[in-house]
A and B are shown apart, each in its own frame.
Chain A
Amino acid sequence: MDKPEFYQRLAAILDIEEVKPENVLKDYEQWDSLAILSVLAMADSQYGVTIRADEIRQVVTAGDLAALVEAKPK
């Protein structure tokens, strides 16, 4: 997985310039249920993986999210 590209896509969803792996997603005002839905859609259409409800709830940082998408079988 191209990590910089993934963080760029995440930044676009959050409508900000840049996201770093250590950034805590909940700290962003934009991290709401619509942003989560956009992330699930992005993971599905760009990376061919389906993230489950319980998995997305455990994610804390942007790095956790990248790792989750990367670890999923395609």
Chain B
Amino acid sequence: MKSIFKHRKISAVVAVVPKEEYRFDDEYPIFKLTADKAKRFKKMMSLDRHRIAPPNVCSSDLCQYGLQHLLSEGTLKKEEIGALIFVSQTPDYIMPPTSNVIQGKLGLGREMICLDINQGCSGFLLGLIQAFVLLEIAALPKVVLLNGDTCSKQTDKCNRISYPLTGDAGSVTVIERCKTENPIYMDVKNDGSRHKAIMIPAGGYRTPSTPETLKLREVEEGVVLNQEHVHMDGPAIFSFTMEDVPPQIDEILAFSGDTRESIEQFLFHQPNPFILKQMADKMKIPPEKLPNNVVSLYGNCSSVTIPLNIALNCSEPVLRNSPRVCLSGFGVGLSWISMVMNLGPLDVCKIVEYEST
């Protein structure tokens, strides 16, 4: 589904990562890997380090920290916020919505919309779409999009494949109206018939949490899971990223009148370096135009990978100019969303470290 938004812009991106950093070289004995096997896995996945929040820190804490940072810096004022969107798969509670909890903690005004969205990999772009739409009706001029995930709580620490690739992070993105037309092109696709490819099977209302759903099972050597952890069908996800995502990139470039040359940066969701490199090769996008370092440095932090990617790899150009970028998020749902836009000049674009108080 294609559409164009006009008179909208992103004005700030702040990514928040926990201070706690762990290196694969120190961690691999937990996974009972031999030094040899660890070396092969490290090479295949370009593993280096990741950030993991302490057990008592929720994704909302990371997001709130980033929002508080913008408010205290003065780049954003409480009186300007017309809507607060929280995109996450690790909310504080089943009810109330986490966006309401954050609104209350920060003492934001009542004349605003609070909205939680359950989405992961494509969640930054789904949140942006929602923000663009809400700007039409919000009484106040800015919409704040929060993306937060503490994915480390959805896997077992001893799972040799998923844990080293996982990271926790949050982000704050400010979206506002602008006088210039600034067209933003988007394409959205969903295929719920493949929803089982990435899922947490139990802990919701279809299969409520019981002692049984919390029982760890070894599905292959060193890969331990319970029914409340993320389950991934590797081959199904691989064929999805190779068969469905590249054609969408071709479609969106045709729709926006762009080419691989006219796009300065392809800032994509980063599931893991291996799959992203494979995708980039297939799409014939040169590596210097498609950064692939988020998972090696921070871990896969679900919907936060794109804003973290922007802040890590693109902050100079987007603070000074407005480079033409192609964004793409793909995964859980299955859902895949791509956008083309001129991004910047932003007021703020940075990574801050969260410190528990």
Residues in A lying within 8 Å of B, measured CB to CB: 15, 29, 32-34, 36-38, 40-41, 44-45, 50-53, 56-57
| Alpha-carbon separation in the docked complex, A15 to B223 (Å) | 20
Report the count of interface residues on B (CB-CB < 8 A): 20
Select the residue from B235, B239, B275 with max chain A CB neighbours within 10 A.
Answer: B235
From A34, A40, A45, A57, B281 is in contact (CB under 8 Å) with: A45
What 8 A-B pairs are tightest by C-beta distance, nearest first?
Answer: A53-B235, A53-B236, A40-B238, A33-B234, A41-B278, A56-B235, A50-B239, A50-B242
Contacts of B275 in A (CB 8 A): 37
A34-B161 in contact (CB<8A): yes
A16 to chain B, nearest CB (A): 12
Contacts of A29 in B (CB 8 A): 221
- SS class of chain A's interface: helix, strand, loop or mixed? helix
Contact residues, B268-288 vs A (CB, 8 A): 274-275, 278, 281-282
Contacts of B133 in A (CB 8 A): none
B235-A52 in contact (CB<8A): yes
Residues in B lying within 8 Å of A, measured CB to CB: 40-41, 44, 161, 220-221, 223, 233-236, 238-239, 242-243, 274-275, 278, 281-282
Contacts of B223 in A (CB 8 A): 32-33
From A15, A38, A51, A57, B239 is in contact (CB under 8 Å) with: A51
B44-A34 in contact (CB<8A): yes
| Alpha-carbon separation in the docked complex, A57 to B41 (Å) | 22
A32-B233 in contact (CB<8A): no
Known: A32-B223, A36-B235, A44-B282. 10 other contacts (CB 8 A): A33-B223, A34-B44, A36-B234, A37-B274, A40-B238, A41-B238, A44-B242, A44-B278, A53-B236, A53-B239
Contacts of B242 in A (CB 8 A): 44, 50
